């Protein structure tokens, strides 16, 4: 039985794996976190593409049937390269599903996007949203400290709230006030409660995990690749500190990770 391969720069993509597991309980998963080289969000598109190619090659060695790029920065920088070089393997990123979820949630807009520096700089969300809704106003803000706070497990409390205020208050003060806020980084859903508190009740938070899982299900169904039998336990690969990955990964995956299931790999 072939597994679905998933990769991210670290643990954030486990929020996407969580949605995939809930939607596709019969599927098996292998997840790679490039923890040695996190963050991707501050690096150039060329470097992120090189890392993404290496991470995918490591997952391809496990004979996967579909690849999920569960990292917005890598999706923005490397999706066309990966889709082309891995064809006919289906490759699914998180930006287009996130853009579709945003336009569906707040069709009248405006939409604000929070992401890493790399994702904001490349403008991939603006293009993907405006491909669906050409007149949609989109504002963006890079929130690099959110990645560190999430990786440290600082989901709430005064430090996280202060950082959230610093990033979100100017962004949401733009006129007309954004009605939707895209969590354009797979690390951000773990900070959702704090982000929601600072954003206010009139702003809808949009997380691409659910729509990405729906896109994966659609492709597997169309290609007759869905699995009926029981799933195998998930496997994890980490490029650094597998013990820390197992320990802190639980926050992102929403269930404990067996330390014995995490293998240290060198890309
Ligand atoms: N997971 C990355 C993303 O979704 C953020 C973390 C990083 O900067 O590597 O963009």
At a CB cut-off of 8 Å and minimum separation 6, what does 174 contact?
110, 112, 139
Q: What pLDDT score was predicted for residue 146?
A: 96
**Residue 155 DSSP symbol:** -
Among 41, 97, 98, which is best to mutate for testing ligand 1, by the most ligand atoms less than 8 A from CB? 41
Q: What is the dihedral of CA 67, 70, 72, 76, to 10 degrees?
A: -10
| Number of Cβ within a 10 Å radius of residue 189 | 21
Q: What pLDDT score was predicted for residue 179?
A: 97
Cis peptide before 191 (omega within 30 of 0): no
Closest ligand 1 atom to residue 39 Cα is 9
Give backbone dihedrals phi and psi of 190, rounded to 5 degrees, phi first.
Answer: -70, -15
Q: How far apart are CA 146 and CA 192, in angstroms?
A: 11
At a CB cut-off of 8 Å and minimum separation 6, what does 139 contact?
110, 111, 112, 113, 171, 174, 178
Contact 29, 6 (CB under 8 A): yes
Q: What is the separation of C-alpha 12 from the centre of its chain, rounded to a whole number of angstroms? A: 6
Among 229, 237, 223, residue whose Cα is nearest residue 66: 223
At a CB cut-off of 8 Å and minimum separation 6, what does 259 contact?
242, 243, 246, 247
Q: What is the separation of C-alpha 210 from the centre of its chain, rounded to a whole number of angstroms? A: 11
> Domains, the chain, ranges and CATH?
4-93+210-264 (3.40.50.1860), 95-208 (3.40.50.1860)
* pLDDT by 10-residue block (mean), the chain, 267 residues: 96 96 97 96 96 98 97 96 97 96 96 96 96 97 95 92 98 95 94 97 94 95 93 96 94 95 97
Q: Is 39 in the pocket of ligand 1 (CB under 6 A)?
A: yes
Q: What pLDDT score was predicted for residue 152?
A: 86
Q: What is the dihedral of CA 215, 147, 107, 104, to 10 degrees?
A: 20
Q: What pLDDT score was predicted for residue 162?
A: 98
Q: What pLDDT score was predicted for residue 155?
A: 92
Q: Is 74 in the pocket of ligand 1 (CB under 6 A)?
A: no
Q: How far is the CA of 228 from the centre of ligand 1 (A)?
A: 32
Q: What pLDDT score was predicted for residue 184?
A: 95
pTM of the model: 0.94
Q: Is 38 in the pocket of ligand 1 (CB under 6 A)?
A: yes
Closest ligand 1 atom to residue 38 Cα is 9
Cis peptide before 88 (omega within 30 of 0): yes
Contact 3, 65 (CB under 8 A): yes
Hey, CA dihedral for 127, 132, 133, 138, is it positive or negative? negative
Q: Is 147 in the pocket of ligand 1 (CB under 6 A)?
A: yes
Give the side-chain half-sphere CA count within 13 A for 163: 19
Residues labelled as active-site residues? 71, 185
Q: What pLDDT score was predicted for residue 10?
A: 94
Q: Is 71 in the pocket of ligand 1 (CB under 6 A)?
A: yes
Q: How far apart are CA 39 and CA 196, in angstroms?
A: 24
Q: How far is the CA of 247 from the centre of ligand 1 (A)?
A: 19
Which residue, by CA, sits nearest to atom 6 of ligand 1?
Answer: 39
């Amino acid at each position: 039985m072939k597994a679905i391969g998933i990769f991210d720069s670290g643990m954030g993509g486990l929020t996407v794996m969580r949605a995939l597991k809930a939607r596709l309980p019969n599927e098996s998963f292998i997840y790679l976190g490039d923890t040695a080289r996190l963050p991707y969000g501050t690096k150039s598109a060329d470097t992120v593409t090189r890392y993404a190619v290496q991470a995918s090659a490591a997952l391809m060695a496990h004979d996967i049937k579909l690849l999920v790029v569960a990292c917005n920065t890598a999706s923005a920088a490397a999706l066309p390269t990966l889709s082309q070089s891995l064809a006919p393997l289906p490759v699914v990123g998180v930006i287009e599903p996130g853009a579709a979820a945003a336009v569906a949630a707040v069709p009248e807009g405006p939409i604000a996007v929070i992401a890493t520096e790399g994702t904001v700089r490349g403008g991939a969300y603006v293009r993907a949203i405006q491909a669906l809704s050409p007149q949609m106003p989109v504002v963006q803000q890079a929130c690099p400290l959110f990645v560190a706070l999430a990786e440290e497990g600082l989901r709430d409390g005064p430090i996280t709230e202060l950082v959230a205020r610093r990033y979100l208050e100017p962004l949401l003060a733009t006129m007309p006030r954004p009605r939707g806020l895209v969590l354009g980084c797979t690390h951000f859903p773990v900070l959702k409660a704090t982000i929601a508190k600072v954003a206010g009740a009139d702003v809808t938070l949009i997380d691409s995990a659910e729509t990405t899982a729906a896109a994966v299900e659609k492709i597997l169904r169309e290609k007759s690749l869905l699995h009926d039998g029981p799933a195998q336990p998930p496997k994890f690969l980490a490029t650094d500190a597998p013990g820390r990955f197992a320990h802190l990964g639980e926050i992102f995956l929403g269930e404990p990770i067996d330390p014995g299931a995490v293998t240290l790999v060198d890309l």
